[in-house]
């Protein structure tokens, strides 16, 4: 069912994100990448990242570091960054590759586009410096398995970051948010993509997602340390963080 949802919305996915969040998802992703603190030569997985939105930001951050005057010539001898854009849906990856080409990144040697299952990654143990997942963890079938895989592939010292929509606990904001979510979003989804049901599912999946404290506990249970989260817009979205130590 989830596969069908993303087959349906892939071509208009980023446009709908702009409409649904009034463009704020861009700022949320900027914040996610700033917390990641990318660096030259890093190996990173962006899971459920098919359209490339987060990966492009990571690559831009690395390129800014490499273009600074303080960047020494000898630093160029290190390995190139490897950013693996992973998604279980090939249509989402197709959109991302097309966007990369439009940005002049079609042949970039740091970007890799892979069809991957978050619950069974084809990467070695202790092989990645970072792992991000934005608006994707609530769509995996077994969340604990996906988190355990993230922990497995990260190196000691590696960081897990998850950007996700949440249930809002502040009553006034929650009432307005629910009205907007269940009334406006599916209607706009139908208008823009011709598919109301997929956006109805996406909203319902947010309501089924565990509260921030519960999700933080699940992250800890798979082994991550120094787990914390940052609420944004009163908890409409949160960025969860954990370290493999």
Pairing of strands 154-165, 128-134: parallel
Q: Is 51 annotated among the ligand-binding residues?
A: yes
Cβ neighbour number for residue 54 with a 10 Å cutoff: 27
Q: Is 238 annotated among the ligand-binding residues?
A: no
Q: Is 214 annotated among the ligand-binding residues?
A: no
Task: Encode pLDDT of 161-189 as tens digits.
Answer: 999 988 787 788 778 878 887 788 778 87
Q: Is 87 annotated among the ligand-binding residues?
A: yes
Task: Encode pLDDT of 42-87 as tens digits.
Answer: 999 999 998 899 999 999 999 999 887 755 545 554 579 999 999 9
pTM for this predicted structure: 0.90
Task: Encode pLDDT of 219-239 as tens digits.
Answer: 999 999 999 999 998 888 999
Domains and CATH numbers, the chain: 2-64+78-244 (3.40.50.150)
3 neighbors 89 (Cβ within 8 angstroms): yes
pLDDT of the residue at 2: 63
The Cα–Cα gap between 25 and 18 comes to 7
Cβ neighbour number for residue 72 with a 10 Å cutoff: 8
Those residues with Cβ within 8 angstroms of residue 213's Cβ, 6 or more apart along the chain or in another chain = none
């Amino acid at each position: 069912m989830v596969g069908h949802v993303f087959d349906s919305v892939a071509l208009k996915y980023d446009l709908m994100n702009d409409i649904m969040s009034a463009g704020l998802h861009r700022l949320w992703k900027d914040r996610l990448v700033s917390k990641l603190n990318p660096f030259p030569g890093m190996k990173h997985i962006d899971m459920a990242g098919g359209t490339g939105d987060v990966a492009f930001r990571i690559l831009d951050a690395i390129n800014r570091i490499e273009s600074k005057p303080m960047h020494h010539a000898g630093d160029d001898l290190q390995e190139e960054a490897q950013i693996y854009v992973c998604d279980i849906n090939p249509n989402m990856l197709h959109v991302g590759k097309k966007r990369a080409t439009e940005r002049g990144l079609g042949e970039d040697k740091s970007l890799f586009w892979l069809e991957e299952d978050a619950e069974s990654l084809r990467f070695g143990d202790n092989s990645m410096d970072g792992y991000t997942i934005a608006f994707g963890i609530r769509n995996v079938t077994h969340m604990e398995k996906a988190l355990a895989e993230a922990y497995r592939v990260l190196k000691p010292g590696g960081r897990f970051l998850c950007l996700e929509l949440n249930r809002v606990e502040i009553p006034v904001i929650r009432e307005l948010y629910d009205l907007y979510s269940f009334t406006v979003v599916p209607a706009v989804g139908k208008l823009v993509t011709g598919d109301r049901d997929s956006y109805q599912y996406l909203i319902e999946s947010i309501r089924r997602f565990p509260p921030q404290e519960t999700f933080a506990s699940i992250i800890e249970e798979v082994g991550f340390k120094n787990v914390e989260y940052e609420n944004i817009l009163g908890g409409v979205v949160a960025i969860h963080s954990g370290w493999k130590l």
